[in-house]
């Protein structure tokens, strides 16, 4: 069971890194904007679209790298130190925590779009 959770965790971390890279550096700028951070706020203007993809992409890359570089080695050390049952429980908790953090990053970016852009997608003036 531990091996299955480690594989799932690795795939999710790699998907977050690749998805974040795509949003950060390769999000389309054409009129369709079919792939990327698609919310009603981000689709209102190119500036909002670019801002949303850069911010969300950056956070997804960070979370994925932290999971690969910290989460998996800690789980393997715990497996070596305490055994399979404890390590399996820890990896399961990592998976849940990882999913929650990715969802929080999406809602945070969506909220920051509404703070930085008006209802037409035009950047708000700093006072």
Q: Could you report the per-residue pLDDT of 13-69, keeping only the tens digit for each?
A: 999 999 999 999 998 887 677 788 888 888 888 899 999 999 999 999 999 999 899
The predicted model gives 56-83 an average pLDDT of 90
Which pTM does this prediction carry? 0.86
**CA 28 – CA 23 distance, rounded (Å):** 9
The ranges assigned to domains in the chain are 2-116
How many Cα atoms occupy the beta-carbon half-sphere of 49 within 13 Å? 17
**In angstroms, rounded to a whole number, what is the distance separating the alpha carbons of residues 16 and 1?**
23
Spatial distance between the Cα atoms of 8 and 33, rounded to a whole number of angstroms: 30
> Measured between alpha carbons, how far is residue 101 from residues 32, 60, 62, 72, 96 in Å?
28, 9, 11, 16, 9
In this model, does residue 70 exceed pLDDT 90? no
Q: pLDDT tens-digit profile of 91-124?
A: 888 889 999 999 999 999 999 998 999 888 889 8
Report the pLDDT value the prediction gives residue 30, as an integer from 0 to 100.
Answer: 75
């Amino acid at each position: 069971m531990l091996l299955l959770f480690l594989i799932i965790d690795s795939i999710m971390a790699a998907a977050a890194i690749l998805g974040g890279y795509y949003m950060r550096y390769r999000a389309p700028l054409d009129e369709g904007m079919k792939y990327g951070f698609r919310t009603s706020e981000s689709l209102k203007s190119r500036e909002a679209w670019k801002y949303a993809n850069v911010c969300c992409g950056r956070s997804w890359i960070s979370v994925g790298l932290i999971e690969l570089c910290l989460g998996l080695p800690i789980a393997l050390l715990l497996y070596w130190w305490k055994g399979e049952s404890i390590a399996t429980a820890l990896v399961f908790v990592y998976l849940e925590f990882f999913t929650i953090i990715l969802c929080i990053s999406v809602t945070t970016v969506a909220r920051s779009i509404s703070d930085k852009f008006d209802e037409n997608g035009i950047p708000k003036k700093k006072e």
